[in-house]
Structure 1
Amino acid sequence: MRPLIELVESDDPAWPEVEAAVAAAPYPVEVLAADARQADAELLRLQVTSRSWLGAVVHRCGGLVIDHGWLRVLGSGNKQRRLASLGEINEGIGGGIVVAQDVLGGQFTWVAPAEATPTIRYFAPDTLRWEDCEIGYGQWLAAMLGGGVTGFYEEVRWSGWTDEVAACGLDQAIHTWPPLWTREGKDLSTVSRRPVPMSEMLAQISDG
């Protein structure tokens, strides 16, 4: 395991690039404050340098709240806003690292196969299938900050979603009935919607 001093890149950190992308985003992006001690522990656990966008986000912020809270990019966590850290979300999980969750229970996972280029994969709550985004973490986050959230989720948004999503806690998801993956649940303007704990939503999706 590499020590923290080797992981905190002081000569060429990626955080200024992330900050620039946040500032240029076409929708609100909230940068949650990080606790320095927790951030160090998260980076040490992750074992990537802060030269990478993944390492920079984990070490320099508690998380990124994109587009009124629709997408929650995990960092070192923020207790005040009830956003878990990347380490907490991934405790006991294998096969990839969950790096972001959305308000409908979708999950973005960074997968680094032994003999292949790491890519971001998305578990879609409307199909219950994994989709390979075929891009790495930095390119994926740049796309999400650059406006990609709008197009990616265009088919699962409803009139007035902004207020509902903003009122949803960062440890919550919006539960729909009938479920998104059913034929009756495809139109989110007609289904029943309510906030539930994210853990409850993920359990329902895994059982679906």
Structure 2
Amino acid sequence: MEQPAWFEISALVAAAPYRVTVLPADAQRAAACLAALDITTRSWLGAVVANSGGLVIDHGWLRVLGSGHDGLPDVAAEMVPGAGRLVVAFDVMGGQFAWSQAEPGVRPTVHYFGPEDLAWQDLELGYGDWLEAMLAGAMTQFYEGLRWPGWEAEVASVALDQGISAWPPPWTREGKDFSAVSRKPVRLAELVSVHQDAARQLGFL
């Protein structure tokens, strides 16, 4: 029997202003992921894990992690030991969303690490509120500065395990105009690593 949290999520998926693909879940993999995270399907994160391999939103721009799918890791695989941070989504530009506890006793919130500023930003939203916002249309404004004319077709052609690398990089002054930079698909894990390395070298992490 489906849990109330998944009914709410499903309703948001159906009403989303952009296309949302619910990747099929593997029951065994989902159960292992829930156990690793020690959560139940009553939570929104648990409902996503139990009922989907992940959510692919707006032509594949945002990939919300679930119990895993071909090309997309499960959310438990993205746990950062000792960091107090759980990566819950990636975007096609190599940005990351992580559920993080700023300090003990404080409610965890979703933080965003973006390729344009190479710093973790507290969105001050819990996981459920963040996911609801992303499904309800907030992505359009959130990513306004990272998009270019015709991005929809370009992003849709990129595989789930790939992202789009831009040169000059988004964190440079020359790389701010995404319609003028050179873009190519690369492995998403490699793209995320490049952004993290750049942040460390520049002293942002």
Q: TM-score range by the shorter chain?
A: over 0.9
Distance 1:118 1:89 in 2: 17
Is the Cα–Cα contact under 8 Å of residues 48 and 54 in structure 2 kept in the other structure? Answer: yes
Please report the TM-score for the alignment, with normalisation by the length of structure 2. Answer: 0.92
Q: Partner residue of 1:54? A: 45
Q: Partner residue of 2:96? A: 107
Distance 1:93 1:20 in 2: 35
For the residue of structure 1 that corresponds to 2:184, the secondary structure is: strand
**Given the alignment, which residue of 51, 56, 62 partners 1:65?**
56
Quick one: structure 1 residues 93 and 57, their matched pair in 2 at CA, closer, same or farther if it must change by over 3 Å? Answer: farther
Deviates more, 1:65-74 or 1:111-120: 111-120
**Given the alignment, which residue of 12, 16, 25 partners 1:21?**
12
Quick one: structure 1 residues 91 and 36, their matched pair in 2 at CA, closer, same or farther if it must change by over 3 Å? Answer: farther
Is the Cα–Cα contact under 8 Å of residues 109 and 121 in structure 1 kept in the other structure? Answer: yes
Q: CA deviation at 1:130?
A: 0.8
Q: Partner residue of 1:95? A: 84
Q: CA deviation at 1:12?
A: 5.1
Which deviations, in whole Å up to 9, do the C-alpha atoms of 1:132-175 show, x marking residues without a partner? 00010000000000001101001110000001100111111100
Is the Cα–Cα contact under 8 Å of residues 121 and 131 in structure 1 kept in the other structure? Answer: yes
Distance 1:92 1:168 in 2: 30
Is the Cα–Cα contact under 8 Å of residues 13 and 52 in structure 1 kept in the other structure? Answer: no
Q: Partner residue of 1:173? A: 163
Q: CA deviation at 1:92?
A: 4.9
For the residue of structure 2 that corresponds to 1:21, the secondary structure is: helix
Task: Map 1:66-85; keep pairs closer than 5 Å.
Answer: 66-79=57-70, 82-85=71-74
RMSD over aligned Cα atoms = 1.4
Distance 2:89 2:77 in 1: 12
Please report the TM-score for the alignment, with normalisation by the length of structure 1. Answer: 0.91
Distance 2:60 2:159 in 1: 8
Identity of aligned residues (%): 55
Aligned residues: 197
Task: Map 1:1-208; keep pairs closer than 5 Å.
Answer: 13-79=4-70, 82-90=71-79, 92=81, 94-112=83-101, 113-208=103-198
| Runs of 5+ unmatched residues, structure 2 | 199-205
